[in-house]
Amino acid sequence: MALSSTTATAAAASFVSGHRGGCSRPSLSSPSFVSAFPRAVAARTRAPPAPARSAAMTVRAQAAGKKSVLIVNTNSGGHAVIGFYLAKDLLAAGHSVTVLTVGDAASDKMNKPPFSRFSELTSAGARTVWGDPSDVGAAVGGGGAAFDVVVDNNGKDLDAVKPVADWAKAAGAGQFLFVSSAGIYTPTDELPHVEGDAVKESAGHVGVEKYIAGEFGNWASFRPQYMIGSGNNKDCEEWFFDRIVRGRAVPIPGSGMQLTNITHVRDLASMLALAVENPGAAAGKIFNCVSDRAVTFNGLVKMCAAAAGAEPNIVYYDPAAVGVDAKKAFPFRNMHFYAEPRAAKEALGWTSTTNLPEDLKERFAEYASSGRGEKEMSFDLDDKILSA
Amino acid sequence: MAATVSLKSSLLLPSPISDFSGASLSISSQTRRRSWQPRGARMQVAASADSKNILVMGGTRFIGVFLSRLLVKEGHQVTLFTRGKAPITQQLPGESDAEYAEFSSKVLHLKGDRQDFDFVKTSLSAKGFDVVYDINGREAVEVAPILDALPNLEQYIYCSSAGVYLKSDLLPHFETDAVDPKSRHKGKLETESLLESRDVNWTSIRPVYIYGPLNYNPVEEWFFHRLKAGRPIPVPGAGNQITQLGHVKDLATAFGLVLGNPKASKQVFNISGAKYVTFDGLARACAKAGGFPEPEIVHYNPKDFDFGKKKAFPFRDQHFFASIEKATSELGCTPEYDLVEGLTDSYNLDFGRGTFRKEADFTTDDMILGKKLVSVWASRRPCKADGCLGVMSAVDDRHGC
């Protein structure tokens, strides 16, 4: 079933349709994927890889083929943290990593995580540079060794990504990976979103996926949703903790039954790393880059409250009736937004390790020690909702 | 076990599918015709070496009707254990006389009451069986005498239920999830525990909601009655609760696949459709399946009503769905039917022919609609979500689409 390179739609469609009528064939996501590739096994642990294990993995990685990887990373937003974790995973596995962060090393944006923690990358052997995606060559310097793999985590449309893709192709990169978005799926009555489902053709990410499918023999696209994890550049669970620690009600739009994927970023990194180490298995494929469990808004509040040692206090509201924009009043899309990582499990033998109740405890510990819970904060939209 | 390629020729449908309902067919059914044939049909000669003496507890109502045909076609000797209250066999809609004659001449009947444990023990040990498919077992006490009677049993295949899972905010349910010892399916759980504790090779299948022709549970039928009557569909809550349907023929196929399969030994498998669906989405899918126009959906708060003993909606008012990934990856089996195709199959072979199990009863609908009439019908608006064509009431901004 390993597909040779083909267009995104055809690959994804045949991935889905290949299941039809297929009973009694031997399993393709066999346990041998996991045991042959210690990365996936190691990724189960939450702690960063210990030196002893890196050494062991370095030996195996060399056997598997040490790669030179360039990660072109956005300088802000929800995706910023992905490049940070991916770099760490690849470094621990013995690969050579360069991180090109968009913009200026001196910009204020670099004071925020994960950029403020880049010493963790450089001390592990990464090269960190800054520059413009429209001139990757200038940023990474000419005359150096070519990159085997280029990962673009820099943009959501061709304006941002085409120059990177074009440069990568000209520079002879063997594999191009794109961090896309599960937000491009067309809403549907039938869930979850699986690879191959219809996407919004006008979405910038879709344009990028189609472009790279046409340009590269070996490409893959990863579609994430929401992430938690230390070093995140964008709030996620903090929105809930902010209210819970101040004894405030948590306003939830609608019924609170809406399902979404909240994934620990280590899972995204492990999936991308598996693709780097298994280019043949990843080639031509789309991967929903999410954990294998969805959570309801209600459930998320309960888990955040439990992590904070508090009782959940939810107030439901109808955004239209109250007169607020749900996009501003709540951190997640006010609808089911639910994808499953079926392709990664099947083709890469990837396993999800996100365990929200446990992960949120760790997140709360960091939140609590940060002092954010004591800061003055205004809750204007909340107050409007609660007084309605 | 016989390998399966795709199931092309039809057992239960003469081709093409459009013979039955002509214009009312959806395009998707016409261009991607799904048909189902028991796996063994092309392997009859080879299968005789693997032929088993199989006992099916039940087998005359729904799942067993399809499963028994599959097993007979594969060359096994199949005995149905029933009280004989319903006919042992019935010709299925679309099944040719010849095929029906072939099946009904081969399937055997053991008449008895499985609650009569002494009879179960003596009759089964007298006959001896290689494999038991327990389709209608509810309590562990019913299973013990069967195990006692058949000490050399090769496999006990049990129809359990995903209803055993403890309700959770984290979904889908996986086979490793916590189960609810207080659920109304606790008998199924206790049976699974009994099987685990006995020295028997067991397999347990946990379906979610089963649908398809001959369904005696008014699942799709509930929607079809309303659609046919041109009535609105009352859906509790926001209508974005997510459920999951699995076609009975896919379930039968899965049951067939675990037979003699070492990967199924002492394992539990969720078996259902590959995708899940919202309540509102299911109403729309049923409409598509039966060639009805887009349905009027009316949401209501069940707490505002006292329906007494009547059930106002055929599904549990919560998210309820399970991942079938274990069966897919370990047994190599995936469902043939997607939701609209499967509902169309059910409509064409059952409700669409004028057959159903339960008469339409709109009592609870009228209670809901009477109360909602003014607020809902006066102020319907289109859903604002991108690409969604739904219509909704004044209260909702979008409908969890």
- Averaged over A100-127, what is the pLDDT? 97
What was the pLDDT predicted at B274? Answer: 98
- Name the DSSP class of B159: E
**Cα–Cα distance for residue pair B195/B204, rounded to 1 Å:** 9
For A175-234, how does the pLDDT look when each residue is reduced to its tens digit (9 = 90+)?
Answer: 999 999 999 999 999 999 999 999 999 999 999 999 999 999 999 999 999 999 999 999
Chain B, window 55-94: residues with a beta carbon less than 8 angstroms from a chain A beta carbon = none
| Residue B252, amino acid | A
**Cα–Cα distance for residue pair A193/B387, rounded to 1 Å:** 15
For A273-325, how does the pLDDT look when each residue is reduced to its tens digit (9 = 90+)?
Answer: 999 999 999 999 999 999 999 999 999 999 999 999 999 999 999 999 999 99
- Name the DSSP class of B327: I
**C-beta atoms of A336 and B278 within 8 A:** yes
Tell me how far the alpha carbon of residue A128 is from its chain's centroid: 20
Q: How does residue B37 score in pLDDT terms, banded at 50, 70 and 90?
A: low
Whether residue A26 is preceded by a cis peptide bond, meaning omega within 30 degrees of 0, is no
Q: Find, among A205, A218, A211, the residue nearest to A155 by Cα.
A: A205
Q: Chain A contact for B43, CB < 8 A? A: no
**Cα–Cα distance for residue pair A74/A82, rounded to 1 Å:** 10
Residue A252 near residue A319 (C-beta atoms within 8 A): no
Say what the pTM is. 0.83
Between residues B218 and A142, the one the model is more confident about:
B218
Burial (CB count within 10 angstroms: exposed 0-12, middle 13-18, buried 19+), residue A247: exposed
Q: How does residue B401 score in pLDDT terms, banded at 50, 70 and 90?
A: low
**Cα–Cα distance for residue pair A28/B388, rounded to 1 Å:** 36
Partner-chain residue, chosen from B1, B168, B276, that has the shortest CB–CB distance to A24: B1
How much of chain A, in percent, has pLDDT values that exceed 70? 82
CA angle A192, A193, A196 (to 5 degrees): 135
**C-beta atoms of A334 and B171 within 8 A:** no
* CB environment A292-322: b (16+ within 10 A), e (fewer): bbbbbbbbbbbbbbbbbeeebeeeebbbbeb
Within 8 A of B274 by CB-CB distance, chain A residues are 19, 194
Window from A121-135, B21-35, B317-331 with minimum mean pLDDT: B21-35
**Cα–Cα distance for residue pair A252/B375, rounded to 1 Å:** 24
Partner-chain residue, chosen from A23, A189, A345, that has the shortest CB–CB distance to B325: A345
What was the pLDDT predicted at B371? Answer: 79
Partner-chain residue, chosen from A188, A253, A294, that has the shortest CB–CB distance to B171: A294
**Cα–Cα distance for residue pair B390/B233, rounded to 1 Å:** 14
How much of chain A, in percent, has pLDDT values that exceed 90? 81
CA angle B61, B65, B71 (to 5 degrees): 150
Strand A294-296 relative to strand B209-211, pairing: unpaired
**C-beta atoms of A19 and B278 within 8 A:** no
For B279-316, how does the pLDDT look when each residue is reduced to its tens digit (9 = 90+)?
Answer: 999 999 999 999 999 999 999 999 999 999 999 999 99
**Tokens 């392709």, located at residue:** A343
For B75, residues 6+ apart whose C-beta sits below 8 A from its C-beta are B40, B43, B44, B47, B48, B50, B51
**Cα–Cα distance for residue pair B331/B269, rounded to 1 Å:** 10
**Cα–Cα distance for residue pair A5/A285, rounded to 1 Å:** 8
Return the SS3 of B15: coil
H helices within chain A, ranges in order? Answer: 8-17, 31-36, 38-42, 51-64, 80-92, 119-122, 136-140, 158-170, 204-215, 238-245, 265-277, 279-282, 297-307, 319-322, 326-329, 342-348, 356-370, 380-387
Nearest 5°: phi and psi at B317? -85, 75
Q: Chain A contact for B112, CB < 8 A? A: no
For B360-372, how does the pLDDT look when each residue is reduced to its tens digit (9 = 90+)?
Answer: 999 999 999 997 6
What was the pLDDT predicted at A99? Answer: 98
Q: How does residue A141 score in pLDDT terms, banded at 50, 70 and 90?
A: confident
**Cα–Cα distance for residue pair B246/B346, rounded to 1 Å:** 12
What was the pLDDT predicted at B72? Answer: 97
Q: How does residue A146 score in pLDDT terms, banded at 50, 70 and 90?
A: confident
Q: How does residue A69 score in pLDDT terms, banded at 50, 70 and 90?
A: very high
Distances (CA, A) of B156 to A237, B70, B259, B263, B329: 47, 17, 9, 14, 22
Partner-chain residue, chosen from A21, A186, A255, that has the shortest CB–CB distance to B5: A21
Whether residue B16 is preceded by a cis peptide bond, meaning omega within 30 degrees of 0, is yes
Partner-chain residue, chosen from B2, B280, B332, that has the shortest CB–CB distance to A22: B332
What secondary structure does DSSP assign to A212-225, as a single string? HHHH-SSEEEEEE-
- Averaged over A68-83, what is the pLDDT? 97
Q: How far is A329 from chain B (nearest CA, A)?
A: 14
Residue B200 near residue B263 (C-beta atoms within 8 A): no
For B319, residues 6+ apart whose C-beta sits below 8 A from its C-beta are A257, A259, A296, B171, B241, B242, B243
What was the pLDDT predicted at A65? Answer: 84
What does the block give as tokens for A370? 């940060």
Residue A339 near residue A193 (C-beta atoms within 8 A): yes
For A98-111, how does the pLDDT look when each residue is reduced to its tens digit (9 = 90+)?
Answer: 999 999 999 999 99
- Crossing angle for the helix pair A297-307 and A238-245, nearest 10 degrees? 60
Partner-chain residue, chosen from B336, B387, B395, that has the shortest CB–CB distance to A318: B395
What was the pLDDT predicted at B232? Answer: 97
Neighbours of B182 (CB within 10 A): 9
For B160-182, how does the pLDDT look when each residue is reduced to its tens digit (9 = 90+)?
Answer: 999 999 999 999 999 999 999 99
What was the pLDDT predicted at A142? Answer: 65
Interface size A-B, in CB pairs within 8 Å, comes to 141
Within 8 A of A24 by CB-CB distance, chain B residues are 1-4, 39, 257, 331-333
Q: What is the mean pLDDT of chain B?
A: 87
- Name the DSSP class of B128: -
**Cα–Cα distance for residue pair B112/B82, rounded to 1 Å:** 6
What was the pLDDT predicted at A3? Answer: 35
What was the pLDDT predicted at A64? Answer: 58
Neighbours of A159 (CB within 10 A): 13
Window from A9-23, A44-58, A226-240, A343-357 with minimum mean pLDDT: A9-23
- Crossing angle for the helix pair A204-215 and A158-170, nearest 10 degrees? 10
For B202-234, how does the pLDDT look when each residue is reduced to its tens digit (9 = 90+)?
Answer: 999 999 999 999 999 999 999 999 999 999 999
Between residues B114 and B387, the one the model is more confident about:
B114
Within 8 A of A345 by CB-CB distance, chain B residues are 325, 329
Query: Residue B276's closest chain A neighbor by CA?
Result: A191
**C-beta atoms of A255 and B238 within 8 A:** yes
Q: Chain A contact for B139, CB < 8 A? A: no
Q: Chain A contact for B332, CB < 8 A? A: yes
pLDDT score of A60 more than 90: no
What CATH superfamily classification does A3-15+60-386 receive? Answer: NAD(P)-binding Rossmann-like Domain (3.40.50.720)
Neighbours of A339 (CB within 10 A): 26
Q: How does residue B36 score in pLDDT terms, banded at 50, 70 and 90?
A: low
Q: How does residue B28 score in pLDDT terms, banded at 50, 70 and 90?
A: very low
For A360-381, how does the pLDDT look when each residue is reduced to its tens digit (9 = 90+)?
Answer: 999 999 999 999 999 999 999 9
